Chains A and B, each alone.
Chain A
Amino acid sequence: MPVVNWLKKNLVVIAGLVTLAFLLLPNVVVTVFSFNKPKGRFNYEWQEFSTDAWKDPCGVADMCGSLSLSLQIALWATVGATVLGTMIAFALVRYRFRARGVVNSLIFLPMAMPEVVMAASLLTLFLNLGAQLGFWTILIAHIMFCLSFVVVAVKARVMSMDPRLEEAARDLYAGPVQTFVRVTLPIAAPGIAAGALLAFALSFDDFIITNFNAGSTVTFPMFVWGSAQRGTPVQINVVGTAMFLIAVVLVLASMAIGNRRGKRKA
């Protein structure tokens, strides 16, 4: 039974490859169809290979504008949520204050709330406050829902930090600012970076909350949704593929740096 034996030996590898394929197949489809030249307005059937869309990524009206808006919102939402979330995480881990336990639980509640309900409620809130819907309401909403995720990521890291390290820094002539910049921040950095990446990803492709609170502003996910009703330009796939590639390059780069460091130190 050589086949059975071979299967037995390689079962883990096979299962891994199948899972990986399952995970990455949609990305492959996005990439492949970014080279399609569709007949008509919908990019749902393969016709022929073309690089037209890659040569003219902003060829669709309003798309690049919405993309730029989404990137800006994601960037500011990441900055806002990361700064606030990091401070909250430090406060929750390092300080004993009244209602600390309550705050600890409350921070995570937004994660449990169904997004569509949250979106509708936010709209109600903004309307009652008389806020003008647009960039700022979107940004405020994004910072709000990213915050919990940043707190979770940073808190895990801060909890594993030895407070003696900061005492050691203070003992070695580092003032409060120096201690934070030279010791606390570098050690907490992986957690903060993870929180920031998560916030960026969540903000960039959020549709539901954004759609409710955007007014007449159109972000990239809203643009894709809107165009899907009338026809999907290939450029959408180009943007998707580009984002994916940027992410892959970033991951590879960080792995390469990590490897080089590891080798140099060893």
Chain B
Amino acid sequence: MKTTDNSGDVRLSGISKTYGSFTAVHPLDLTVPQGSFFALLGASGCGKTTTLRMIAGLEEPTSGTVHLGDQDVTALPPYKRPVNTVFQSYALFPHLDIFENVAFGLRRRGIKSVKKQVEEMLELVQLGEQARKKPHQLSGGQQQRVAVARALINHPKVLLLDEPLGALDLKLRRQMQLELKRIQTEVGITFVHVTHDQEEAMTMADTVAVMNAGRVEQLGSPADLYENPQTTFVANFLGTSNLIETEVDTKSGDDIVLKAGGGKLLLPSERCAAPATAGGRVLIGVRPEKISITHADDAGTITEGRNRITGKIADASFIGVSTQYVIDTPVCDEFAVYAQNVERDGRLVPGADVVLHWNPAHTFGLDAAQDIDAGIEEEAV
């Protein structure tokens, strides 16, 4: 059924939004397939919420069109679109009880007998007992579920979620992430989820679009984005990356040989997002958990063919399951390494000389013309 029915597709073509001289969203093409869980990820002010509001009809695009399935809805007001939104901070109607909040959409469409549907929906979000309470009498998590129920009861083609978990504490947020994912699987509706929390986006979504300054930087599955970032922004915004500036030496077979800090590093050609010509510059990156750390005295035990960097431990923090090291190396003075605490080497303390090594296949290459720190500050928000 999912393959033939495309009425829940969201298609944005050349959509943009400018406020005066400020461009919130640059012309953007995006297709969200029916039934998928799609996340728009980015720091605040990157245009993700504006994009969502244009799908909802709450914001008029400056240019471009919005299609739901085959229907062009660009000119339709929000109350005529088969789309519902879960708002940031929920926007529950304070003067109505939970039952009436959930029944609101049905009643506005002139449906008379709403009781059964509302009760079923409240059961789905486990709030059957609370039907006659007012929103302010519920906890944050309960209010969030009411907001989801109020939107879902209308069987929208697409459900839009605007930072729906932002107001919850960490533990509840994790719980609601699983809950939302469960509901989405159950109802099979297209979900478009806006968030600034990269972990949330990766946990929940099938496809993530990373937005930065009104543009989509990269689009793909969470694993693809994490393993193969195409820009420094994505590399830094999703998780942590160690980025090194290198010079292209030669190509040998499928690998590019790079010079960095006197040593040589290998990068598989197909993992390089930038043109690599001999003598040119390339940024290479590697995730901290892909790196092994070995004391300098045992350097001989490291297998041949791995990328190596020598350095000195600047800092080590014990996190329980892992230890996070900061290594001072000639190529980068704050090289992050996460090591699982399987067999801890007692010599790996601050000040110790170490060799860092990793499988070259885990290296990715980026265009050296970019800001190496893009996306770092934003992640701290």
Contacts and interface: CB of A to CB of B under 8 A. Distances in A.
A39 B53 CA distance: 77
A94 B97 CA distance: 26
A187 B94 contact: yes
Interface stretch (B76-84, B277-285, B311-319, B345-353): B76-84
A51 interface: no
Interface in A168-219: 168-175, 178, 182-183, 186-187
Given A170-B58, A171-B56, A265-B133, A183 B93 contact: yes
B367 to A, nearest CB: 40
Contact of A171 (B79, B132, B133): B79
Interface residues on B, range: 20 to 34
A175 B79 contact: yes
B85 interface: yes
Given A167-B58, A264-B132, A172 B108 contact: yes
B184 interface: no
Contacts of A167: 58, 78, 85, 87, 91
Interface string A217-234: 000000000000000000
B64 interface: no
A165 interface: yes
Nearest to B150: A172
Nearest to B80: A173
B220 interface: no
A8 interface: no
Contact of A165 (B58, B85, B93): B93
B365 to A, nearest CB: 44
Contact of A172 (B58, B84, B133): B84
Given A164-B87, A265-B133, A173 B58 contact: no
Contacts of A173: 79-80, 105, 108-109, 154
B91 A165 contact: yes
Nearest to A174: B108
B58 A265 contact: no
A162 interface: yes
Contacts of B87: 164, 167-168
Contacts of A266: 137
B137 A265 contact: yes
Contacts of B150: 172
B2 to A, nearest CB: 25
B89 interface: yes
Contacts of A168: 85, 87, 91-93
B320 to A, nearest CB: 40
A164 B105 contact: no
A172 B104 CA distance: 7
A28 B84 CA distance: 58
Interface string B122-154: 000000000011100100000000000011001
B79 A174 contact: yes
Interface string A246-266: 000000000000000000111
A-B pairs, top 8 by smallest CB distance, nearest first, are A172-B105, A164-B91, A168-B91, A173-B108, A170-B78, A186-B95, A174-B108, A171-B85
20 contacts: A164-B89, A164-B91, A165-B91, A165-B94, A167-B85, A168-B93, A169-B104, A170-B57, A170-B58, A171-B57, A171-B79, A172-B150, A172-B151, A173-B108, A173-B109, A173-B154, A174-B79, A178-B79, A182-B108, A187-B93
Interface of A: 162, 164-165, 167-175, 178, 182-183, 186-187, 264-266
Given A174-B79, A187-B95, A265-B97, 13 more contacts: A164-B87, A168-B92, A168-B93, A170-B79, A171-B57, A171-B58, A172-B150, A172-B154, A173-B109, A174-B104, A186-B95, A265-B132, A265-B137
Interface of B: 56-58, 77-80, 83-85, 87-89, 91-95, 97, 104-105, 108-109, 132-134, 137, 150-151, 154
